[in-house]
Structure 1
Amino acid sequence: MIKNHQPSHPWKVVQPLVEILSPWVTVIAEQLQDDQGKILEYWRVEKADSVVILTLQNQTLLLPRPMYRPGVGKTTLDFPGGRVPSEQTPLETVPNILNKELGIQPSDIATIIALNSEGWAINSSFSNQNLYGFVAEILPDAVVNPEQIGATYPITNQGIEELLQDLVCLQCRGILLEWKQQFRIGKQTWDQ
């Protein structure tokens, strides 16, 4: 494998052009000078970090009801997830999201495992937002409100492949594949 890591000098902000503030996102336009001295106009967004949670109970993945996603203009199936409030850590956010999206009480969560300790950049050219992935194991006898469950998939190779076909969100797909890789390599394997 060839890796070509050339030292890069940080780009300099020549002048800010526009800043649009909202509770959900800040949009910024700037004039930048790159490491070659070229002047560029660049747009970017600043957003809170987010978490995506694979929720397991009795060898089954639980997903909330599909929700309308304005960004793609349609309803999609996704894992539970959301933004990390500024006063919380990603881990502290997990029980609140599971309660909101699946009605799972914090006392019904057996374990929460982080898939990454540092957030993954969602789009490093356009956004500062990082993604944190978690796996939450729900106690086997905990009752999850069926009204809040949108889909379930068995933790089998076939179940995972079907779920990958049904997910359109790249973040959800990435977290699922990361979990699948870590799960297979690390500790256990699931049935064929």
Structure 2
Amino acid sequence: MNSPDWQTRDRFLELRSPWLTLIGEHLQEPQQGQILEYWRVEKADSVIILPIQSHQLILPPPTYRPGLGKATLDFPGGRLPEGEQPIAVVPTILQRELGVIAEEIAQITPLNGQGWAVNSSFSNQKLYGFIADLHSTAKIPANFIGGTYPITNLGVESLLKSLTCLQCRALLLEWWLTRSRSLS
């Protein structure tokens, strides 16, 4: 949202796709009245889930990331469809990425109810994180498991070394620090 002093003079480009909208605008800055060319991206918000079962963090198999040119280990996640509440998509994501049905989820806890701005200088995208506690009896098919890490200092440290995704790392650290504070 623009500050009341900044004015959008015109929008000279709007390119839409199902994943994002690229916008080019001319903005007038308030002090000198200078017209600046400004580019931004509007992206769907994202949801990332930290699944826990029997004191283990569970991750799906690595996924190929074209920007990195390799497969990376990530927590289950995805884009938030327009009009959906972030918590409402958690069961769908867990079923798609871990083969876990909704009845096998004991509890879903938000990590950041307001969402975090992913890159506020370039995009409007927000990231919502959740903890999904799975019943100990939940059956996760072996081909849906890419890694398990114990919920210990060493387990979390090892997982942090295995994660490339900055968003996944940030949510893991937020959860771990919050959890550590509440236990002390």
Equivalent of 1:73, from 69, 74, 83? 69
Q: TM-score, normalised by structure 1?
A: 0.90
How far apart are the structure 2 equivalents of 1:85 and 1:35?
A: 36
Q: Secondary structure at the match of 1:93?
A: helix
Query: How far is the alpha carbon of 1:68 from its aligned partner?
Result: 0.9
Query: How far is the alpha carbon of 1:71 from its aligned partner?
Result: 2.9
- Identity of aligned pairs, percent? 55
Pair 10,144 (structure 1): closer, same or farther in 2 beyond 3 Å: farther
Q: Secondary structure at the match of 2:146?
A: strand
Equivalent of 1:33, from 28, 32, 37? 28
Q: Secondary structure at the match of 2:18?
A: coil
How far apart are the structure 1 equivalents of 2:176 and 2:69?
A: 29
Contact 1:49 1:131 in 2 (8 A): yes
Pair 35,168 (structure 1): closer, same or farther in 2 beyond 3 Å: farther
How far apart are the structure 2 equivalents of 1:16 and 1:80?
A: 36
Indicate the residue corresponding to 2:41 in structure 1.
45
Equivalent of 2:11, from 16, 33, 47? 16
Query: How far is the alpha carbon of 1:87 from its aligned partner?
Result: 3.2
How far apart are the structure 2 equivalents of 1:90 and 1:35?
A: 36
Structure 1, residues 20-75: CA drift from partner, whole Å, max 9, x if none? 11111100111112243332111111111111100000000000010011233321
Structure 2 gaps, min length 5? none
CA RMSD of aligned residues (A): 1.3
How far apart are the structure 1 equivalents of 2:38 and 2:70?
A: 29
How far apart are the structure 2 equivalents of 1:88 and 1:112?
A: 16
Equivalent of 1:134, from 130, 134, 139? 130
Residues 1:173 and 2:169 aligned together:
yes
Residue-pair matches, total: 181
Pair 10,175 (structure 1): closer, same or farther in 2 beyond 3 Å: farther
